[in-house]
Amino acid sequence: MYIKIYFGDKPLFLCDDITPDLEPFLHHDDAVFIDEFSTPALKSMIYEMELPGIHAGILKHNDLQALKKAFWKKFTIIQAGGGAVWNEKHALLFIHRRGKWDLPKGKLDEGETIEHCAVREVEEETGLQGASITRPLLTTYHTYHESGKHILKETVWFEMKIKGDQHLKPQTEEDIHAAEWLAKKDWGKVNGNTFPSIRDVIIALGERRS
């Protein structure tokens, strides 16, 4: 079992075992492997992941939850919710934000559930109405720096649906300049210009619908 955290485009895996899909990373010269559970080890891994020559990392400990708890303490945690929304024509809704394809998502407000957050953000960022959750998909994690803080953002994703032929209104104040329904055959242009966590959501959609 593992948790994948992106540092930019680079994955760091927190794990309690080396599964077959992690095995190839152990043989890459540009990947870091640490199986020590200590504060210096955690700090070292975070430092290594931000070096330009490193492209992946594996941090292993037999108690994954304890490892996660200790790792999370090194960051300011932001929780968010997001949606992968289908229309009645079996097209998925994408947005274009700051030059990249994305999916609607946003930060959790105090006192709201993550489900309400995801639906609210979908509707605010796209102008849709009546979006409803059909099932949970996955949780993605990525890090970034903001105002001198090192942020770890935890985004819970839900598959959703809407009814009717609704007008899309991108939330330009959130730097969203386009919203578009794309059939699965057109997702290739998204994969070439998006974030790795969004690719993971798309993969999860394919796995759930296969």
Region 55-74 average pLDDT: 96
Instruction: Identify which of 139, 134, 127, 156 has the alpha carbon closest to the alpha carbon of residue 86.
Output: 134
Region 194-210 average pLDDT: 83
What is the reported pLDDT for 81?
98
What is the reported pLDDT for 210?
41
The reported pTM is: 0.92
What is the reported pLDDT for 198?
96
Q: What CATH architecture does domain 77-209 belong to?
A: Alpha-Beta Complex (3.90)
Q: Inform me whether the pLDDT recorded for 25 exceeds 70.
A: yes
Q: What tokens appear for 53 in the block?
A: 């020559």
Q: Where in the chain is the domain with CATH 3.90.79.10?
A: 77-209
The 10s digit of each residue's pLDDT in 82-130 is: 999 999 999 999 999 999 999 999 999 999 999 999 999 999 999 999 9
What is the reported pLDDT for 26?
87
The 10s digit of each residue's pLDDT in 141-194 is: 999 999 899 999 999 999 999 999 888 999 999 899 999 999 999 998 898 899
What percent of the chain lies above the pLDDT cut of 70?
98
Region 65-88 average pLDDT: 97
What is the reported pLDDT for 28?
86
SS (H, E, C) the chain: CEEEEEECCEEEEEECCCCCCCHHHHHCCCEEEECCCCHHHHHHHHHHHCCCCCCEEEEECCCHHHHHHHHHCCCEEEEEEEEEEECCCCCEEEEEECCEEECCEEECCCCCCHHHHHHHHHHHHHCCCCCEEEEEEEEEEEEEEECCEEEEEEEEEEEEECCCCCCCCCCHHHCEEEEEEECHHHCHHHHCCECHHHHHHHHHHHHHHC
What is the reported pLDDT for 97?
93
What is the reported pLDDT for 207?
65
